[in-house]
Structure 1
Amino acid sequence: MALFRKAEKLCGGEGKESMHVATYNAVIHGLLINGQAADAEAIPDVYTYTTIFDTLLQSNRPDAVMRMLDVMETAKIPANTATYTAIIDCLIRRKGEKNVRAALQLANKMEADGIPANEVTFTSLLAGVSRDDELPAMVQKQLVAEIMAKMTARGMEPNRVTQTFLLLAALKADSKTGIDQAMQIWREAIAEKGNPGHIPHPTYFILLTGLAKNERYDHVQEVMEYIYRSGWQPKGPLEKLIKQLSMEIALRG
Structure 2
Amino acid sequence: MKSVGVDGCKSGWFAVSIYDNGKWELQIFKSARDLHKIYADSDIILIDIPIGLKDSGKEERLCDLKARKLLGHGRGSSVFPVPCRQAVYCKTYEEAHKTNKEILERGLSKQTWGIVSKIREVDEFVVNNEFVVGKLKESHPEVCFYALSGQPMKYSKKCKEGADERINVLRKLYRNTDEIIKYALNNYKRKEVALDDIIDALCLSISGLYGLENGFVVLPECREIDNKNIGMQILFAYSKE
Same fold (TM over 0.5): no
| Higher relative contact order, chain-length normalized (CA < 8 Å, sep 6+) | 2
Normalization by structure 1: what TM-score? 0.21
**Higher share of residues assigned strand:** 2
**Higher share of residues assigned helix:** 1
